[in-house]
Amino acid sequence: MSWLLENWFGGKESLEQAREEIQRYAQKEVYLGVSGLENPEQSSTRMAPQDLFLSLYGPWDNKLEENEAEFLRFVHDELPPVVRDEVGIIPFFSTPTTKGYLVLTFIRNASKRDIAFYKLPLSLVDEKGEVVAKKTFDMLKYGSVGDKSSRPAEFLFSWDAFARMPEQDEQLFLRFDAPLRKKRTVSKQPTTLTPVEQAHYENMAARQQLTVQPGEVKLDPLDILPADEGALKVIVLFRNGLDKRVEFTEVPILLRDRDGAEVARVRFGLKNLHVDANSSLIWGFTIPNESITKPYVKAEECSAYIPDPKPEKIRRVRRTPRGGIVQ
C-alpha cells in the first residue's frame, strides 16, 4: 500500500506531511454511550484502528478508484485509538459546500456486537460550545455496523439547518445529541409475553405473512392492549433478516386515536435487546399513563406506528376487538 500512497502524495516526505494533515483535521471522537460508561472518552481501554475491519460500503460504495480506497484506509489507520466496547463517530474532514456543511467521518464499533441505528441526532457547535446547526439523520440506509468494524459516513448539514452562518475558516465540531431521559422517554426494558400470548402473536404474524426477509430489519406493531394504571401495552414484532445479530438501543412508538390525533410519542431506551441473525422476537412495550396526552384513551381506539427510515412508508396497525391488523 505504501507505494500507492507515495505515488498519491508524491513521495515519502509528502506521505509524512499527509499524516500531519490527518492529525490536524481529525476531531475529537463523539461516543454514543453504548458501553454504559458515564464518560467513555475518559476511558484508557482502547483499540487501535488497525484492529477494526474497515468496510468501505456506504456513501462512496462502488464510486472509489483503487487509489482513493487506499487513501481512505490510510486515513482510517492513522486515526487515534477508539474506546473499547463503544461506538464512536470520528470526523476526519469537514468543509463548507454549496449545499451545506459537509462532515466526513468513520463510524467505529469497538464492541462485540452489531449495532443498528434508526435516527442519529447531531449538532455542529463552535469553539465556545454554542450550537450552530442541528439535524437528525436517517441511519438505516447504512445498515448495521458489525462488531469490531468501521465504515465511512458523511453528514451534510444543509444551510437552512443553521442558526447562523459560520464565519470564513471557522472550525465547527460534531456533537451527538443524546436523547433526554424525560417524561416521554422510558428507560425500562420491554416485557416478555406469557407462553399463551407468545403463541397467539406468532400465529398472528404468520397469518399476516410477516416473515423474516433476507437483508431487511423490520419492526411491526401487532396489537395494543390496556395495561395497569391507565397505561397501554404495544406488542411489537422484531424481524432481523441480516446474517448477524442486531442490538436495538431504542424503539420509538407513536400512538394516534381514531381521528388521527397524536395521543402519545415515546422513545424507549433499551439495553441488551438482541435479535439473532435471520430470526424474530416479540416484545411488549408499556406506555405509561403520564406519557398519554389525551384522557380516557382506549386501546381499541388507537393505532400504533413505528417510524420507518422512509417516512412515506410508515407501517400502520390498528387495534381491533379480534386483535387483527388493519393496514
- Answer whether 44's CB lies under 8 Å from 104's CB: no
Same domain, 142 and 190: no
Residue 70: predicted pLDDT:
83
Spatial separation of the C-alpha atoms in residues 253 and 275, rounded to whole Å: 19
Single residue among 152, 176, 200 that ends a domain in this structure: 176
Same domain, 30 and 132: yes
Single residue among 124, 151, 176 that ends a domain in this structure: 176
Residue 89: predicted pLDDT:
95
Structural domains of the chain, count? 2
Residue 187: predicted pLDDT:
44
**SS3 of the chain: helix, strand, coil, percent, to 5:** 20, 40, 40
Question: Structural domain of residue 130, as residue ranges?
Answer: 2-176
Same domain, 74 and 199: no
SS3 at position 210: coil
- Answer whether 264's CB lies under 8 Å from 183's CB: no
CA torsion sign, 22 to 23 to 28 to 33? positive
Grid coordinates in use for 324?
387483527
Residue 40: predicted pLDDT:
84
Same domain, 25 and 124: yes
Residue 246: predicted pLDDT:
85
pTM equals 0.53
Mean pLDDT in runs of 10 for the chain (327 residues)?
45 67 84 78 90 78 74 88 92 91 92 81 93 90 83 92 92 83 47 79 88 88 88 90 84 83 81 84 88 86 71 38 31
Query: Any idea what the CATH number is for the domain that residue 251 is in?
Result: 2.60.40
Residue 305: predicted pLDDT:
85
Same domain, 252 and 118: no
Residue 262: predicted pLDDT:
81
Spatial separation of the C-alpha atoms in residues 222 and 201, rounded to whole Å: 7
Same domain, 33 and 155: yes
Same domain, 20 and 167: yes
Residue 180: predicted pLDDT:
46
CA 198 to chain centre: 28
Same domain, 145 and 260: no
Residue 109: predicted pLDDT:
93
